[in-house]
Structure formats: C-alpha cells, structure tokens
Amino acid sequence: MTFLFLLEGIRTPFLNQLMQFITYFGQELIVIAVICTFYWCADKRFAYLLGFTYFTAGLGVQALKITFRIPRPWILDPTFQPVDSAVSGATGYSFPSGHTQSATCLFYPLSLYVSRRWVRLMCVTAFLLIGFSRMYLGCHTPKDVLVSMGLSLVVSTVICKFQSVLLDDTRYLKQIAAVLVCLSLATAAYSLFLNGNGVIETKYAMDCCKAAGAGLGFAVGWYVERTKLNFDTHTGRMWTQILKLLIGLTAALLLKGGFSLIFGSSILAKMSEYFILVLWVIVIYPCIFQRVSLFQPY
C-alpha cells in the first residue's frame, strides 16, 4: 500500500485521464478484437497462439482470485482513494490483476511475433505501462500486478516454446483439446463449489465461469476448426478483409448483448454466452464467410 499512497500523491487530472486511456488496452474487448483481426484476416496460426496464451492464463488468474480472495486496495485500507473513473471497471477480487494478464498475454507474444526492434520495444512498453496504470489508478497493488505479469509471461513463454506441437502437429489434437476442456471445467466446478458453500459471492463465481465458458469454446472450436474446417484467412482484397472484420465484430457484439437479454444473467447463462461467443469467432463465422463468394481468395 505504501507504493499506492506514493502514486496517489503525484496524481493530476491529466495523468488520471492518460492512465485511464492506457488501461483500456488491457480490457477483454481489445484483446478479443486483436485476436479476431489476426484470426479472420491475417495470420490464423498466430491468433491460435494468442488464444492459447490468453485463455490458459485467464483460467489461472481467475482460479487464484477466488483462492486468495484479496479485496481491492480501497477496501484493504479505507483511507486510500482510487481514481473515481476506474472504480466501476474494477470488478472481482484484486489479486492477481486481470487487466495485466490480458495485456501481457497480448503484447508479449506480439513482441516475439514482430521483426522490427522498435515495434518490439513498443509492445513490451505497452504491457508494462498497462500494469503500472492499474497501480496508478488505485485498482491493484504491486503484488497483484507483478504476480499476474509473471504468470502470464511464464504461460506465454511455455506456449511459444511448444507452439509447434500445439499449432502444427495434428497427432495430439484430441489430447490438447481435452486438457483445455478439463482445465475449464475444473475452474468452473471449483468456483461453483466455493459459491455453494458460501465462501465466495455469486458475482465472483460468475467471473470464473465466464472464463471457463470461453476456455471451453476455444478448446471445442479449435479442435473442430483444425479437423473439419481449416479455413483460409485471405481474400486477396483489402476492402473485403475490412468488411469481413467489421461484420464479424458487429455480429459478436450483438450476440453478446442479445444473449443476456434472452437468457438472463445467471451463472449458467453467462458461461454459455462466453462459450457460444468464442465458438462464433473460431468456427461459426468462419464457416459462414467460407461459403460467401465475396470472401473467397482469388
């Protein structure tokens, strides 16, 4: 908390707005949009690498949150004041930081993917700044950020090291999908067990089950796409790629909003929503645009 009080002492209106802007790049929506852009339009293999990193680390972070159940800094010390604009987006337990995990799982693999040194430096700077912004805004302690960043770096490094097995070798598709399914189901079951015994509130169990639903969707979608669909990302025309991306993202947003309106916001509904949303990204939408002549490669 000492470091957070130090940062509180240097806040200015300009820095508050700047850090609020920086922290947006660690949000779920940004990461998913980047993954969709690569997956539908540019480099499907790299999008899968991002997906394995993001969803696996996300399950780990959610499991740690409900295990340690550490409150937000302003609850730990009522004399501490966070930046007001950041409080509404700070849901769930504090440890570890979800924004930092999202940012690290996106920008660290990107830093390994790009070839230009200055772009690599920008990617590394991005996830470091996003982690710092979470502390500046008062949403997380240094421990929250550093543990999340460390976990995400380890997961990213391991997945990058074994990417040929995950992304190129077809001999272990069932086994890999089964492992991710088991991890997702175990995370959901763990959160529901704690919720059922009154250890955690429903809203915290729901965050875990949303991550589990997304993990399940990724595992099933990845297996089906690799074994049945194997679509081509390219069309040969820039404007059709942009159109493909805009239609897919718009439909995903409508699906996410419409699902809640129809099925409500129970734990099972939210888990199903994220499962179907990731399936839309990986299998359903590619299956549609593969059958539209406008989006076929030359």
Please report the pLDDT score of residue 121 as a whole number. 95
Phi, psi of 69 (to 5 degrees): 55, 50
Please report the pLDDT score of residue 293 as a whole number. 64
Please report the pLDDT score of residue 86 as a whole number. 84
CA distances from 226 to 44, 219, 231 (A): 11, 11, 9
218 in Cβ contact with 54 (< 8 Å): no
123 in Cβ contact with 110 (< 8 Å): yes
Model confidence pLDDT, tens digit, residues 62-91: 999 999 999 998 888 888 888 888 887 778
Q: What is the mean pLDDT of residues 30-38?
A: 93
pLDDT band at 159 (very low <50, low <70, confident <90, very high): very high
Nearest to 177 by CA among 168, 166, 186: 166
Q: What is the mean pLDDT of residues 253-264?
A: 86
Please report the pLDDT score of residue 87 as a whole number. 85
- What is the residue-wise DSSP string for 118-133? HHHHHHHHHHHHHHHH
Mean pLDDT for the chain overall:
91
Does 183 have pLDDT greater than 90? yes
Does 236 have pLDDT greater than 80? no
Question: Computed over its alpha carbons, how large is the radius of gyration of the chain?
Answer: 20
Residue 45 DSSP code = H
Cα separation, 121 vs 200, in Å, equals 40
Cα separation, 254 vs 258, in Å, equals 6
Residues written for the chain: 298
Does 198 have pLDDT greater than 80? yes
Cα separation, 175 vs 132, in Å, equals 38
Cα separation, 76 vs 294, in Å, equals 56
Give the tokens for residue 235. 């069309």
Does 49 have pLDDT greater than 70? yes
Cα end-to-end span (Å), the chain: 58
Q: What is the mean pLDDT of residues 272-295?
A: 88
Tell me what percent of the residues of the chain surpass a pLDDT of 70: 98
Cα separation, 241 vs 239, in Å, equals 5
The DSSP H or E segment spanning 210 is helix 202-224
pLDDT band at 137 (very low <50, low <70, confident <90, very high): very high
Q: What is the mean pLDDT of residues 39-51?
A: 94
| pTM of the predicted model as reported, rounded to 2 decimal places | 0.92
Please report the pLDDT score of residue 294 as a whole number. 63
Nearest to 298 by CA among 232, 205, 242: 232
Does 5 have pLDDT greater than 70? yes
Please report the pLDDT score of residue 202 as a whole number. 92
- Identify the three-state secondary structure at position 200: coil
Please report the pLDDT score of residue 56 as a whole number. 95
Does 2 have pLDDT greater than 90? no
Please report the pLDDT score of residue 6 as a whole number. 87
CA distances from 266 to 18, 205, 249, 293 (A): 35, 11, 24, 40
Does 4 have pLDDT greater than 80? yes
